[in-house]
Amino acid sequence: MQRRKLAWLISVAIACSSLAQAATPSSGKNDAALAARVAKVLADTPLIDGHNDLPWELRARGAVDLRVDHSKHDKAKAGQTPLMTDIPRMRAGGMGGQFWSVWIPASITGPAAVQMTLEEIDIVRTMVARYPEAFEMAYTAADIERIHLEGRIASLIGIEGGHQINDSMAVLRQMYVLGARYMTLTHTSNTDWADSATADPEHHGLTPFGKAIVGEMNRLGMLVDLSHVSPDTMRQAIAASAAPVMFSHSGARALIDHPRDVPDDVLRLVAKNHGIVMVNFYPGYVSAASARWDAGRAAEKARFNAPPYGGLYIGQPERANAALAEWEKQHPAPVVTLGMVADHFEHIRKVAGVESVGIGSDFDGIPTTPEGLNAVDKYPALLIELARRGWTDAELAAVAGGNMLRVMREAEAVAKRLQVTEQPSTLTIDGKPLVAE
């Protein structure tokens, strides 16, 4: 135990060295005291991020050495965006646990989606096995706490879209066996049983099969993730769930009217459900000005080149890219700051309570980040900002990871109870059981 404790203290010391650098410069001489408070919190409580898309980046980039600080390494490679995640910066950020997203495009469905999801799960498990000094697979709240005490980073798996199970209860169960501990009910498109936030309503929430999926996830102990789903799906899933739900990477819709964020009435339901909203760092979900800029850029891109039928420079990608670059020069992206992200934490605490908020960065799944939150070494800067706003050490511990641990424990307790009283569901999408009961 002493050796494990020493390993963790070393990692906390590395985190402390980055705290002052990460702090907002306007805070003055109190930074050192705030940094010391945050370092103590992270020594005692595992910092858990609900969503990181590194697995897809590893798939796309091929051989990547995560022992390298890629903020410096990748800049030497022309045209390559630096990774936001690697082991040195996770250590500097004081990380204790990470839900790795095994995302696949929503356009991939059917058996192909199941296969690609299995490949993504394999990427996570292979990554963890390659760096045993840094990572260990975790499946329960107790696992996270033990791994954190040993000075390593607990690695969990989250499925980012119901299309990845191909409308199959059996596939859902096997994903759980392979380590998935949450599933986002939809991604950017509707499934056959749930509406997405970013698609035209088809079911107006959940179908009966969708509600059965929620029930089976409760029985398994797999968290129901409501990021990406429509407000109707949010409300109906919370009503159907016997366990706390999560939003792995979403913000407060009262601050920016974006469908990827959570309305206040749903925040109040999350509080009653004992769930959690883990705040996303993507500028377009944090700032209304940034969201408008994103929309304007998308419109200009389509105006210049919208195959197969339209665009001023259709079939001329060089001219289209040059025109878009000129538009961007004339219309620079609005500045989005760490403080704006902290505003979302503050709002969720105000409406749902401090026990219902957490961190869900979406690192390596987003093209840009707020100033001061550009990679995994910057979590302490966010906690310092919250401390500056008056958050107590107990509240900082809750938002860093305590709330996520509580949600997991409650979901595990619900699963233990349901597995005594309920049999595995054999329901199919057409409403008939897969096998005779």
Catalytic residues: 51, 53, 160, 187, 228, 249, 362
Cα angle, residue 96 at apex, residues 91 and 97 outer, rounded to 5°:
120
> Using CA atoms, how far apart are residues 79 and 377, in angstroms rounded to an integer?
23
d(CA 145, CA 78): 40
Instruction: Give the tokens for residue 260.
Output: 């990827």
Burial of residue 368, with CB atoms counted within 10 A of its CB: 0-12 exposed, 13-18 middle, 19 or more buried: middle
**Number of residues in the chain:** 437
CA distances from 228 to 36, 49, 362 (A): 36, 17, 12
Q: Which letter does DSSP use for residue 160 in this model?
A: -
The Cα 279–Cα 345 span in angstroms is: 7
For 134, counting Cβ atoms within 10 Å of its Cβ (0-12 exposed, 13-18 middle, 19+ buried), the class is buried
Selection from 173, 129, 175 nearest residue 155 by Cα: 129
241 Ramachandran zone, left/alpha/beta (phi>0; psi -120 to 50): beta
* Percentages (nearest 5) of helix, strand, coil residues in the chain: 55, 10, 35
- Distance separating alpha carbons of residues 188 and 197, to the nearest angstrom: 7
Residue 409 sits at φ, ψ, to 5 deg, of -60, -45
If you ran DSSP here, which 8-state letter would residue 433 be given?
A: B
**Contact 94/379 with Cβ under 8 angstroms?**
yes
Q: Which amino acid is it at 54?
A: L
Residue 255 near residue 344, CB atoms below 8 Å: yes
- Beta-carbon contacts of 390 under 8 Å, excluding residues fewer than 6 positions away, are none
